[in-house]
């Protein structure tokens, strides 16, 4: 299947152009947020700045939605706009939203309601926004999409699973296009949990090539892809294979390997087994932060590289293991990119992107 | 590949209606409705619920009731399918839920709010307790895994996704369904929406006053005919079609014209290659809320005619949210297999605004196909078609 449009929102801004600029510019220090668990002391985080968005038309349309839904709608809408295809929403278009944590901030707001006001005096609006498929529903409503609309929530390769399902839907004719993407939001409680279980990089710098020990900087955002089996719109590349269990193509060459390492695992040494000296490796998590759905942003980076036929250097190049790293940006002939992720059980997932 | 190649070889279910399918069928025959006040958590709210009163002790997992319920249903389904050894097969796990996807741990959050710190027990359970991931590890399934969180259509969507996986060759066998526990947080939420009934729910009844929440799990083993043949088993049931569609209308209310439900039904029927006249009965979503039943009843009557045989089983189970689609898929399959469906519990008076009525008594089923529908928060709609082979 082809990627015919991409929409991204993260701390670097909204849109492929902002994301591409971030890839070109390299690492920049993240913002900070007050941490309740640290008594209000600030901690680094890559957060979306809604106030900085130049066009708030769509935000006004979904003003009752929470931040997770807003990020989802903005990125999904951006993917459709980016495709350049007219009236795409009125075609046979499905939606698959992948997330690890869903609307946890709204869930905690609802718990506030229960704790503060009691069982009988809680807000129905907060409750309905805390339901996990609210973001997908806001996308459908805001963009008037009436195809299959699905939300999946898991820690194991949720974005890759969404891609696999999108391919099945397209092949089986359940829709002609699928808007598949991933979203996760930062919140104070999640920040506390991450800080408690992992090591936060106080300098705000994720070092994906240290592998062990690791450090994380929380991020948030959404990345959506317009997918179809046709060569239409603003084609970036093909998604030639997605594996979430085994990889029958293991050992198959690629021009660049992108790894999802981002400090979300205390030990990311499993990645070492997937690296070779023949293939330069990049990791872009230091641009958007640590997220269980970070692979969607890495896939966006890979798709951009294939479309632009441009390599983007790894933004943080600390390399104690001497890995063959993609250290310099520049043009070149790119035919295929392999995006690799591991989870805490050392299970591997791979997305193969190829030049369209 | 014809549609009948995706066999349903195992069924498992647990709900307030019974801890397995046999017990459930007895409840159905006797019209037993095991509802009562909430006992699982303290609350001042009075809306009755359908709790599973005696969770089998061997499945008890502290703080993981949704997983416990799921494991009961999955183990039953695997046993029914005579599938003790999964090695040699690519087995997918696709399960719907709502509660297991949320860290709605009140005590953890209360402690965190007050102290800026809290024990990680609930968080660890949450991180290790993703429904599909947990089941896959527990049964050593090596294949795709998905936890579907499409609110009240999650279970139906999970079954439909399993069909897609099997058709695309991502797995040979799939375990699909849904599971949800009765939880304090959605219980407060549904009461806040004003749709929780203070008495017993009465789906499609003229005087219906809302839903009762319930809990439970339903699971199916689905497999390609080739996988079943390889392990020397067969089945008279198959999953023939799945449709899903969005209303794109409102976060909590269904489209008044039932736009999404109509599309989902047409898609499921088209995949099954069926005309409306082939459908023996519909196990409707039928929550007992005014809007759901009105929209669903009108759409079903419009497509299948006012004489359609239909029921809602939520009068026996309550609304089990993410589990509902899984549980009702099992009930639908069982209706075809057994050749009968029960009276639609809670229905007494016809609503003149709905041009059809659910069955009032145990009803024989002779046709070979049945539908199960789900309508969800967020305007998602899903339908599956289940078939019984002619010679079964």
Q: Is B103 exposed, middle or buried (0-12, 13-18, 19+ CB in 10 A)?
A: buried
pLDDT at A245: 81
**Of B63, B50, B48, nearest to B18 (Cα)?**
B50
| Alpha carbons A218 and A5: distance in angstroms, whole number | 26
Is pLDDT at A248 greater than 90 in this prediction? no
Full pLDDT tens readout for chain B, 392 residues: 454 579 999 999 999 999 999 999 999 999 999 999 999 999 999 999 999 999 999 999 999 999 999 999 999 999 999 999 898 899 999 999 999 888 989 999 999 999 999 999 999 999 999 999 999 999 999 999 999 999 999 999 999 999 999 999 999 999 999 999 999 999 999 999 999 999 999 999 999 999 999 999 999 999 999 999 999 998 999 999 999 999 999 998 999 999 999 999 999 999 999 999 999 999 999 999 999 999 999 999 999 999 999 999 999 999 999 999 999 999 999 999 999 999 999 999 999 999 999 999 999 999 999 999 999 999 999 999 999 988 55
Give the helix, strand, coil percentages of chain B, each rounded to 5: 40, 20, 40
A187 touches chain B (CB under 8 A): no
DSSP of A233-277 = SS--EEEEEEESS--TTTT---SEEEE--SSSSS--GGGGGG--T
pLDDT in tens, A305-315: 999 999 999 99
Cβ contact, residue pair A122, B188, below 8 Å: yes
Q: What is the 3-state secondary structure (H, E, C) of B158-202?
A: HHHHHHHHHHHCCCCEEEEEEEECCCHHHHHHHHHCCCECCCCCC
Query: Please, are residues B151 and A128 in contact by the beta-carbon 8 Å criterion?
Result: no
CA torsion angle B276 B278 B280 B283 (round to 10):
-40
Furthest C-alpha separation in chain A = 63
B113 close contact with A: CB closer than 8 A? yes
Best probe of the B interface among A61, A70, A137, by most B CBs < 10 A, is A137
CA A20 to CA B336: how far, in whole Å? Answer: 56
The number of residues in chain A equals 356
CA distances from A213 to A199, A270, A318 (A): 9, 13, 13
Mean pLDDT, chain A, integer? 95
* A252-262 tens-digit pLDDT: 789 999 999 99
Supply the CATH number for residue B21's domain: 3.40.47.10
Contact B50, B213 (CB under 8 A): yes
Chain A nearest C-alpha distance from B350 (Å)? 30
Q: Structural domain of residue B108, as residue ranges?
A: 3-388
Omega before residue A213 within 30° of 0, cis: yes
In Å, how far is B154's CA from the nearest CA of chain A? Answer: 9
Residue A295 pLDDT greater than 60, yes or no: yes
**Interchain contact A55–B (C-beta under 8 A):** no
User: What is the rounded CA–CA span in Å between residue A296 and residue A300?
Assistant: 6
* CB A68 within 8 Å of CB A106: yes
Residue in B131, B153, B42 with CA at minimum distance from that of residue B383: B153
Q: What is the pLDDT of residue B179?
A: 98
Strand partners, A150: A96
**What is the model's pLDDT at position A89?**
86
Residue (of B371, B361, B376) closest to B283 by Cα position: B371
| E strands in chain A | 2-10, 13-14, 31-34, 42-45, 93-99, 149-153, 177-184, 221-228, 237-243, 256-259, 281-282, 310-311, 330-331, 336-342, 348-354
Would you say B322 and B99 are in contact if contact means Cβ atoms under 8 Å apart? yes
- Structural domain of A320: 2-354
Model pLDDT, residue A285? 98
Q: Is any Cβ of chain B less than 8 angstroms from the Cβ of A167?
A: yes
Kindly indicate the confidence band of residue A335, based on its pLDDT and cuts at 50, 70 and 90: very high
Euclidean distance between CA atoms B390 and B305, whole angstroms: 24
The per-residue pLDDT for B1 is 40
A83-to-A7, A166, A223, B245 alpha-carbon distances in Å: 9, 17, 14, 23
> Could you give the CA distance from residue B58 to residue A338 in angstroms, rounded to a whole number?
44
Question: How many percent of chain A have pLDDT more than 90?
Answer: 92
Single pTM value for the model: 0.97
Sign for the CA dihedral angle at B206, B207, B209, B215 comes to negative
| pLDDT digit string, tens, across residues A1-55 | 999 999 999 999 999 999 999 999 999 999 999 998 888 889 999 999 999 998 8
**A171–chain B Cβ distance below 8 A for any pair:** yes
- CA B66 to chain centroid: 13
Residue with tokens 């920049």, as numbered in its chain: A28
Provide the angle, in degrees to the nearest 10, between the axes of the packed helices A188-197 and B106-115: 90
Q: In whole angstroms, what is the distance from residue A316 CA to residue A262 CA?
A: 11
Residue A152 has pLDDT above 70, yes or no: yes
pLDDT value at A139 more than 70: yes
User: Distance between CA atoms of B344 and B360, rounded to whole angstroms?
Assistant: 6
Q: Look at residue B4 in the predicted model and tell me its pLDDT.
A: 52
Res A90: pLDDT: 86
Q: What is the CATH number of the domain that holds A203?
A: 3.40.47.10
Is A152 close to B113, i.e. CB distance below 8 A?
no
Q: What are the structure tokens assigned to A30, written together?
A: 């993240």
Is the separation of the CB atoms in B259 and A146 below 8 Å? yes
Taking the Cβ of residue A146 and every Cβ of chain B, the question of whether any pair is shorter than 8 Å is answered with yes
- CA dihedral over A286, A289, A291, A297, signed as positive or negative: negative
User: B266 at the A interface (CB within 8 A)?
Assistant: no
Q: Which residues, including other chains, have CB under 8 Å from residue B379's CB and lie 6 or more apart?
A: A137, A140, A141, A149, B246, B247, B248, B249, B250, B251, B254, B255, B260
Q: What is the pLDDT, as a whole number, of residue A169?
A: 98
Mutate: best of A110, A143, A148, partner B, most B CBs <10 A = A148
Contact B98 A136 (CB under 8 A): no
Decide if B114 touches A, using CB distance below 8 A: no
A chain contacts of residue B45, beta-carbon cutoff 8 Å:
119-120
Q: Is B188 on the interface with A (CB under 8 A)?
A: yes
3-state DSSP of B45-111: CCCCEECCCCCCHHHCCCCCHHHHHHHHHHHHHHHHCCCCCCCCCCEEEEEECCHHHCCCCHHHHHH
User: Does the beta carbon of B145 lie under 8 angstroms from any beta carbon of chain A?
Assistant: yes
- Exposure string for A53-90, b = 16+ CB within 10 A, e = fewer: beeeebeeebeebbbbbbbbbbbbbbbbbbbebeebbe
Look up residue B373 and give its two tokens: 């529908």
ipTM at complex level: 0.97
First to last CA, chain B: 20
pLDDT tens digit string along A168-187?
999 999 999 999 999 999 99
- Which of A114, A127, A132 has its CB closest to that of B101? A132
* Residue B391: predicted pLDDT: 58
Distance from CA of A116 to the nearest CA of B (A): 10
B-contacting residues of A 106-135, CB under 8 Å? 107-108, 110-112, 114-115, 118-120, 122-124, 127-134
What residues have CB less than 8 Å from B339, skipping those under 6 apart?
A: B364, B365, B366
Number of domains comprising chain A: 1
């Amino acid at each position: 299947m082809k990627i015919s449009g991409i929409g991204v929102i993260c701390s670097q801004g909204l849109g492929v152009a902002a994301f591409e600029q971030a890839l070109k510019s390299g690492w920049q220090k993240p913002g900070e947020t007050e941490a309740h668990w640290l008594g209000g002391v600030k901690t680094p985080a890559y957060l979306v700045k809604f106030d900085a968005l130049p066009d708030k038309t769509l935000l006004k349309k979904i003003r009752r939605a929470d931040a997770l839904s807003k990020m989802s709608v903005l990125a999904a809408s951006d993917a459709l706009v980016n495709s350049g295809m007219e009236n795409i929403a009125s075609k046979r278009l499905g939606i698959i939203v992948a997330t690890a944590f869903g609307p946890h901030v709204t869930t905690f707001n609802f718990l506030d309601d229960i704790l503060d006001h009691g069982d009988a005096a809680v807000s129905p609006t907060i409750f309905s926004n805390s339901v996990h498929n609210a973001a997908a529903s806001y996308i459908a409503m805001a963009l008037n999409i009436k195809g299959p609309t699905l939300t999946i929530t898991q820690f194991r390769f949720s974005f890759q699973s969404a891609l696999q399902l999108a391919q099945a839907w397209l092949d089986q004719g359940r829709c002609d296009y699928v808007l598949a993407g991933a979203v996760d939001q930062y919140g104070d409680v999640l920040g506390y949990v991450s800080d408690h279980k992992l090591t936060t990089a106080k300098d705000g710098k994720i070092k994906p090539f240290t592998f062990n020990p690791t450090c994380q900087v929380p991020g948030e955002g959404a990345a959506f892809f317009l997918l179809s089996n046709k060569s239409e719109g603003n084609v970036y590349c093909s998604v030639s294979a997605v594996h979430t269990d085994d990889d029958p193509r293991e050992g198959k060459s690629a021009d660049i390997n992108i790894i999802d390492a981002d400090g979300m695992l205390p030990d990311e040494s499993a990645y070492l087994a997937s690296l070779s000296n023949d293939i330069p490796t990049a990791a872009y998590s230091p641009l958007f932060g640590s997220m269980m759905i970070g692979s969607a942003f890495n896939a966006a980076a890979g798709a951009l590289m294939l479309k632009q036929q441009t390599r983007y250097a790894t933004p943080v190049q600390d390399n104690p293991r001497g890995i063959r790293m993609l250290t310099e940006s520049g043009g070149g002939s790119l035919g295929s990119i392999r995006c690799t992720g591991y989870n805490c059980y050392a299970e591997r997932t791979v997305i193969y992107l190829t030049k369209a | 590949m014809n549609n009948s190649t995706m066999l349903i070889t195992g069924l498992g279910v647990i709900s307030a209606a019974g801890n397995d399918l046999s017990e459930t069928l007895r409840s159905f025959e006797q019209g037993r409705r095991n509802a009562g006040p909430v006992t699982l958590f303290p609350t001042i709210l009075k809306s009755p619920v359908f709790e599973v009163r005696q969770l089998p002790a061997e499945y008890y997992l502290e703080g993981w009731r949704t997983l416990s319920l799921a494991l009961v249903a999955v183990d039953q389904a695997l046993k029914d399918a005579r599938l003790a050894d999964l090695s040699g097969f690519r087995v997918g796990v696709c399960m719907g839920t709502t509660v297991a996807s949320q860290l709605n741990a009140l005590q953890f959050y209360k402690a965190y709010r007050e102290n800026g710190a809290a024990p990680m027990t609930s968080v660890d359970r949450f991180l290790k307790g993703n429904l599909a991931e947990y089941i896959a590890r527990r049964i050593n399934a090596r294949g795709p895994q998905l936890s579907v969180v499409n609110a009240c259509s999650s279970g139906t969507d999970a079954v439909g996704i399993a069909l897609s996986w099997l058709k695309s060759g991502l797995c040979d066998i799939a375990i699909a369904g849904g599971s949800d526990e009765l939880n304090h947080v959605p219980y407060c939420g549904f009461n806040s929406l004003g749709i929780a009934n203070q008495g017993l729910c009465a789906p499609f009844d003229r005087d219906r006053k809302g839903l009762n929440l319930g809990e439970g799990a339903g699971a199916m083993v689905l497999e390609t005919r080739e996988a079943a043949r390889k392990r020397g088993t067969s089945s008279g049931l198959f999953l023939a079609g799945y449709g899903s569609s969005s209303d794109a209308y409102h976060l909590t209310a269904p489209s008044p014209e039932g736009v999404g439900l109509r599309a989902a039904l047409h898609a499921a029927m088209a995949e099954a290659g069926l005309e409306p006249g082939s459908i023996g009965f519909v196990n409707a979503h039928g929550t007992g809320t005014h809007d759901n039943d009105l929209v669903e009843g009108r759409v079903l009557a419009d497509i299948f005619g006012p004489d359609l045989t239909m029921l809602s089983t939520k009068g026996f189970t309550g609304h089990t949210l993410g589990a509902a689609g899984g549980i009702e898929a099992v009930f639908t399959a069982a209706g075809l297999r057994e050749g009968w469906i029960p009276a639609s519990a809670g229905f007494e008076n016809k609503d003149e605004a709905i041009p059809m009525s659910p069955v009032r008594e145990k009803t024989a089923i002779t046709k070979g196909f049945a539908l199960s529908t789900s309508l969800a928060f967020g305007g998602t709609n899903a339908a599956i078609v289940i078939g019984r082979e002619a010679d079964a």
